[in-house]
Amino acid sequence: YIMTSTNNTVDYNNGLTHGRVLNFGAGPGCLPEEVLLEAQQELLNFQGSGKSIMELSHRGKEYSKVHEDAKSNLRLLLNIPENYDILFLQGGATSLFAGIPINLCNGNNDTIDYLVTGAWSKSAYNEAKMYTKVNAVADMESTKFRTVAEPSDWKRSDNASYFYYCDNETVHGVEMPSQQVYDNVPASIPILCDMSSNFLSRPVDVSKFGLIYAGAQKNAGIAGITIVIIRKDLLQKSKPDTPNVFNFLKKSQQNSLDNTPPTFNIYIMGLVLKWLLKNGGLDEMSRLSQTKSHMLYDFVDNSNGFYTCYIDKKYRSRMNACIRIKDGDEAMEEKFFKAAEKHGITDVKGHRSVGGVRVSLYNAITVRGVEVLLAFMKEFMAQNQ
């Protein structure tokens, strides 16, 4: 039995099917169409079980294979060493702002170093203060988060329990070169990283990190699941009085299967991971992200100031390009958003805290999609000089 829709669809002539628009949203981000179609096909009857994936027991053999395949494919994509465990946590990545210090710190006896490069690392820094002593290695808020201090200017603690940073700031469009962190933090100090918005967009040397975490709703799936990759020796730091919902050690011991995991979210993530493996893995995703972001930034930089990106070129995000029109003309930007929507180009409005235009170029955005966007931006510029 096939579900049909009587809804009229609009042909935006943007290279997509099923009347779909080009979704440049920062999160939930767009999903590969192939993944959506596979999920649609399996939704009523998952692999002959007679039940939807959403109805299967998380202890049953059908779901167990989904769970283990997702873990093994993630390990394959990122080449995760055997001395690391993978946890699938319910909820959003912001829960880790508290979850990390609760697990890994011994109250105010510990000091942790935070590199503050945008809204999300600032929020993590502020929340960690409730649980331990926190040192801002550098806080870039005074620059409106448009650049990052040189490592020679970082003010690291002498005995930090760990070093924390955000690899890609979704709100402000800043992306850290990982090598810059590896080279300036002693190997004895675990590096902890929020990779939510550039996770799975490029290869990562997991062995350089004590812990990596990411919300799935950018490049890895849908909202409601957070992936944690943690070095196994750090699991032992979890204290017995840490609430079960946050307790990394207990999550590891129970294979993230306690209190019913978000099975549908993990299933969708599993489909995305298979799609990534089928389409060249992280080397290919990195190549494509460089291509797409260079196309957009080159156009912006050569628009004679009609479009502007104020972020230091060394730190411009490949995932979230933050742009202003006519030096922040809000009326013109509002006109841009309305015109874009009429062309089937959506979710390009900047975060409410910073305004402007934000174009998110996650893995599921194609080069063709960027070409359509640039054609629209060129036409809009010609009409509104």
**Which is the catalytic residue, given 110, 120, 122, 349?**
120
CA angle 52, 41, 372 (to 5 degrees): 130
Q: Which SS3 state, helix, strand or coil, does residue 359 take?
A: strand
Residues near 135 by Cβ (< 8 Å), separated by ≥ 6? 111, 112, 113, 114, 155, 156, 157, 160
Beta carbons within 10 angstroms of residue 87's beta carbon: 19
Residue type, 223: A
CA distances from 113 to 140, 169, 209, 247 (A): 14, 18, 14, 22
C-alpha separations of 162 from 104, 259, 339 in Å: 9, 30, 47
Q: What are residue 212's DSSP bridge partners?
A: 193, 229
Give the SS3 label for residue 294: helix
Question: Which residue out of 85, 113, 167, 194 is catalytically annotated?
Answer: 194
Nearest in space to 225 (alpha carbons), one of 46, 73, 133, 96: 96
Is 120 designated active site? Answer: yes
Kind and range of the H or E element at 307?
strand 307-308
Work out the burial of residue 376: count CB atoms within 10 Å of its CB; fewer than 13 is exposed, 13-18 middle, 19 or more buried: buried
List the 320-325 sheet strands across, edge first.
Answer: 307-308, 320-325, 357-360
218 tagged catalytic: yes
Find out whether 58 and 68 touch, Cβ atoms under 8 Å. Answer: no
Is-cis flag, bond preceding 28, omega within 30? Answer: yes
CB atoms within 10 A of CB 331: 9
CA distance 115 to 180: 12
Q: Are 119 and 168 contacting, i.e. CB atoms less than 8 angstroms apart?
A: no
Q: Is 275 a catalytic residue?
A: no
Exactly one of 71, 218, 237, 349 is catalytic; which is it? Answer: 218
Catalytic residues: 120, 194, 218
